[in-house]
Amino acid sequence: MKVFLGDLVHDWEKVSLWTFPLNVGYIGSYAREHAPVDVDLRLFKRPEAMIAAIRAEKPDVVGLAHYVWNTNLNRLVLGLAKEANPRVLTVGGGPNFTAANADDATARRFFAATPGCDAYVLNQGERGFSALVNRFIDVGGDVERLRQDAVPGCLINDLDARDRVHRGPDLNVILDLDEIPSPYLNGLMDPFFDEPFVPILETNRSCPYRCTFCAWGIGTEKLAQFSTERVFAEIEYLGRRSAKSMNLFIADANFAVLERDGDIAAKIHQTHEAHGYPGHVCVQWNKTRPDRVLRVARQLRELSEVGASMQSLEPDVLKAIKRRNLPLETVAEMIATLRQEGIEMPLFTELIVGLPNETQTSHIAANKTMIDLGAEVFNYNLHLLPGTEMDTAQSRDAYFRRTGWRLHDNAFGIYDGVKVFEGQEVVLETNTMSLAELRSFRFIHFLIQFMWSRKWYYDYLHLMRRIGIHPVDMMVRIAQAFATDDGEMGRLHARFAADHDLENFASFEDLSAFWSADENMERLKGGQYGKLNYVFTYDILLNHYDAFNDFLARVSRDVVAERDMDDKETFVEQCAEVLAFSRELRVTLTESMDMVESKRRSFNFDLLAWRRSGYDGQPARIATGDRFEYEFYLPDRQRSVLDRQLSQFRSHSVNLTLRKMSEEISADNFFYRVRNAAGPQSTAKHLD
């Protein structure tokens, strides 16, 4: 029996952070082990490759993992599979269906929109897919016979013949995860090491929390584990095989929830030391055991950031979304402990605007609180995920007044001559926040990410704080100045607002019609549209940097003029020096995208000592009239990380390359280290 499984991604844009198809690797490995016949199993990520293979080889079974970023792509591929071989069994699976929405009405809508899909596997998929394949074998490969009855763990599409959807009984989850053969150790993942895909490591399954906006863990109760021995073997395998990627995603919902996770983190760092991989680890951190988070963070060291994803700090919001956060004082103590031990791990947090009961005031306060803790803050607009409690009619009626649609990032393309788009349903108005209030945050969120969290103007915001202006208040002031500017920055703001309008389509059909137009498809093809924060970050850095610095200098002078303070002229001079220093901190690329490894610059104020003091007071001017000379340089490890990132994401567009590099590695990698220098100065050409 020939089985094709796909975890398909839109690869039309050519450059993105695509992960190994570990999900379907587990599904296929388990099914192959439990089938009564030999199974010829192949896995796919790229849609065109899968379409070509389906037409050439006409497999018996085609299964696709469904997520919000590939649902319409899957619909096309399943339909093409039926055209190539009407006898093929076509299967969907994934979190688009969970216990929250796997009812008859929702299933009917799905199968009516996706007539090429015969069945959908629910919840943890290994046993359900295996039961489905074995039933297919039992009925002699007859799809019509299979459609007549329920199959455990599955929804069966019987709309055409009997106007029914059969739902089989739920299956017990797998608690001993070693029952599932390792797709790494059995070689199924080997072809994907030859492409710039990011490996995923799963050490346990389930989530003890039930945040209403998330589908993670629905369908499971107890935490299940892979054995430590197996996890260690997979880490070593990844270390020896990974040459195209430097990232590692840990797929656990709460890494550091178990005592052993410290040992796993130590093994990851040991493998990094031995093989140079991974260079960066993306982690979803545990929310209730700071002692274990601290132990794991100590072991990972520079390979990751410490995360404290709050989503909101407002008690009424957290109650409505059924969420519990780490106490803020605990987070602060944890970061202070790491820094005292000489472990400089950045702290990051995520906040969501548009949650139930969140207000404009509480959201601004949350940003200020997390910035005061020194966190890199990333703000997101709430979008409704199918299969979550928040997506139910009851939740919608209680909390949301208006929604819209935006194009899912890097989820579009032309396949087999068909234009395909994926959309996100975004919350535009809630029970406590108006349409105008929600909209007003979009540009402020951009500035928070650009200037503070990604640290392009981190020193500047600290300087403004020295005269009593909170970074958030300063960025609100900058946003207001953008909106009223009649020059280059005003035009940039207008373009940002126009692209923001493209996140508010009234329906998915309107979204699809707009982006289907030839001129808009060309914009997508050229990499000129994507996540607004990253697109405009690199638009400013590459094309408007001097103008933006001049704009900040003007806003700073206006702010200083309004304040009662001594020696305003010196402070304005310090602002200019800090902005110049920020320019030199940026890792410099040549026009051929090679890195300049070091350079020297001199300044009138001792900015390096000021930074090392934790931005205490204001920078001191040199007394003798000389200048402070600094060397800006790249340590070996940082240079290696950037080299591998440039190799992985190099494309026709510098903006696209840099923004894809930025999405999953620490902001610190994009800035030179600085030390006092002596000797002749060198020069380096900025890309911009």
pLDDT tens for each residue of 406-435: 999 999 999 999 999 999 999 999 999 999
Q: Which two tokens stand for residue 576?
A: 């200019």
User: What residues contact 623, with CB distance under 8 A and at least 6 apart?
Assistant: none
Residue 12 · residue 412 · CB < 8 Å: yes
Residue 344: predicted pLDDT:
74
Query: What's the mean pLDDT in 648-665?
Result: 82
More confident residue, 341 or 619: 619
The DSSP H or E segment spanning 17 is none
Q: Which residue has the higher pLDDT, 622 or 385?
A: 385
Q: What is the pLDDT of residues 499-526, one digit of tens each?
A: 999 999 999 999 999 999 999 999 999 8
pLDDT at 685: 32
- Does residue 682 have a pLDDT over 90? no
Q: What angle do CA 54, 56, 58 make, to 5 degrees?
A: 50
pLDDT of residue 512: 98
Mean per-residue pLDDT, 132-144: 97
Three-state DSSP at 655 gives: helix
User: Residues 595-614: pLDDT tens digits?
Assistant: 889 999 999 999 999 999 99
Distance CA 547, CA 562 (A): 23
- Per-residue pLDDT for 652 more than 90? no
pLDDT tens, residue by residue, 75-134: 999 999 999 999 999 999 999 998 888 899 999 999 999 999 999 999 889 999 999 999
Please state, in angstroms and rounded to a whole number, the distance separating the CA atoms of residues 661 and 658: 5
Q: Mean pLDDT across the stretch 10-21?
A: 86
- Percentage of residues in the chain with pLDDT exceeding 90? 77
| pLDDT of 288 | 79
Tell me the pTM: 0.92
Q: What is the pLDDT of residue 579?
A: 96
The confidence score (pLDDT) of residue 679 equals 44
Closest CA to 172 of 150, 154, 153: 153
In this prediction, residue 345 carries a pLDDT of: 76
- What's the pLDDT score for residue 136? 98
Q: How far is CA 89 from CA 108, 117, 531, 564, in A?
A: 18, 8, 37, 75
Rounded mean pLDDT of the chain? 92
Question: Residue 10: its pLDDT value, please?
Answer: 95
**Type and span of the H or E element at 496:** helix 488-501
Give the model's confidence band at 688: pLDDT under 50 very low, under 70 low, under 90 confident, else very high. Answer: very low
Task: Specify whether the CB–CB gap between 676 and 608 falls below 8 A.
Answer: yes
Distances 270 to 226, 264, 638 between C-alpha atoms, Å: 20, 10, 18
Adjacent-strand bridge partners of 139: none
Domains annotated for the chain, with CATH where assigned, are: 2-167 (3.40.50.280), 177-449 (3.80.30.20)
Least confident of 61-70, 132-141, 305-314: 305-314
The average pLDDT across 566-591 equals 92
pLDDT in tens, 528-550: 898 999 999 999 999 999 999 99
Percent of the chain with pLDDT over 70: 98
Mean pLDDT, residues 229-242: 97
